[in-house]
Amino acid sequence: MSALSFSRSKLVAVENKDANTLKAHGFLEDYIYCMEIDVEVDITSFKVTAISGRMNRITTSECHKAIAVLQNAVGLDITEKDFARTVNRIIGRAGCLHFGSLLTECCDSIMQAIIFSDLEKDGFKYMEVNKSYAKDKADTLPGLKNSCIAYTGL
């Protein structure tokens, strides 16, 4: 009898598109699926301004229909308390759960990029003096709050 095995990889990279826009590229691959999304967020409003997706490996001919559903994310505010739940409903259930999960990861990564950009600008010493700085920033990451070891002490 052979042992069951499964492996899934997710990778998210965030870059500056311009002064007011961050772009995240998300990649998910496992034994069954392989897909990518690109999402852009305006950092002045925290709203999704553009999104596109590709399905490189799928299980059914229905999977490609989920690419069009991604457009429902345009206009969403990534700082909303129920952002992950909203994405699950309008992207995950309506299109593809894996796309929904990957979009949430991309937006969480964009928020982390904004926070660490602020830390670099303001200086890490400021965070040491003002202990509430990191906690206040972490409050804008509802998807990660109380779920990530890096934020457990906040």
Predicted confidence at residue 154, as pLDDT, reads 46
- Whether residue 43 contacts residue 23, with contact meaning beta carbons closer than 8 Å, is answered with no
SS3 content of the chain, % helix, strand, coil (to 5): 40, 25, 30
**Is residue 122 situated within a structural domain?**
no
* Closest by CA position to 41, among listed 27, 22, 18: 22
**24 assigned to some structural domain:** yes
Domain membership of residue 130 (yes or no) is: no
In a domain, 137, yes or no: no
Q: What is the pLDDT of residue 148?
A: 55
Domain count, the chain: 1
Give the domain range for residue 49.
8-111
95 occurs within a structural domain: yes
Question: pTM of this prediction?
Answer: 0.79
Helices (H), the chain: 66-69, 83-87, 97-122, 124-129, 132-138
User: Reduced to 3 states, what is the DSSP secondary structure of residue 4?
Assistant: coil
What is the C-alpha to C-alpha distance for residues 87 and 76, in angstroms, rounded to an integer?
Answer: 9
Instruction: Please give the pLDDT value at position 104.
Output: 94
105, part of any domain: yes
CA-to-CA distance for 110 and 94, rounded, in angstroms? 24
Which of the residues in the chain have pLDDT under 50?
151-154
The pLDDT value recorded for residue 5 is 84
Q: Is residue 119 part of a domain?
A: no
Residue 16 lies in a domain: yes
